[in-house]
Amino acid sequence: MSAEETVFGIDDLRKHIFTFLRAKPHKKCKACQCVLEWDKGNKKCDFLEWSSLEPHCHECFREIFSKNYFGFGCSIC
């Protein structure tokens, strides 16, 4: 029996090992739900994030910005 089989044969030890693995991403895009960071600092996709805005991938941010951008000047109705 190999060491791997021995370790994974012990239920308590196997459960303890799997508690260290992340089930949900650290950050994901608010619009398309793609994974931006799985672990802190482990960037999967380029994204924008401000303190008042949830993270968005570049594609979704570009799409949202282009819909809300009316050109230069004031857009007060």
Nearest one of 59, 53, 66, 5 to 27, comparing CA atoms:
53
Q: Where are the domains of the chain?
A: 24-70
Query: What's this model's pTM, rounded to 2 decimal places?
Result: 0.57
CA–CA gap between residue 23 and residue 35 (Å, rounded): 12
Tens digit of each residue's pLDDT (9 = 90 or more) over 35-76: 999 888 888 888 888 877 789 999 998 888 887 666 555 555
- Identify the DSSP state of 43: B
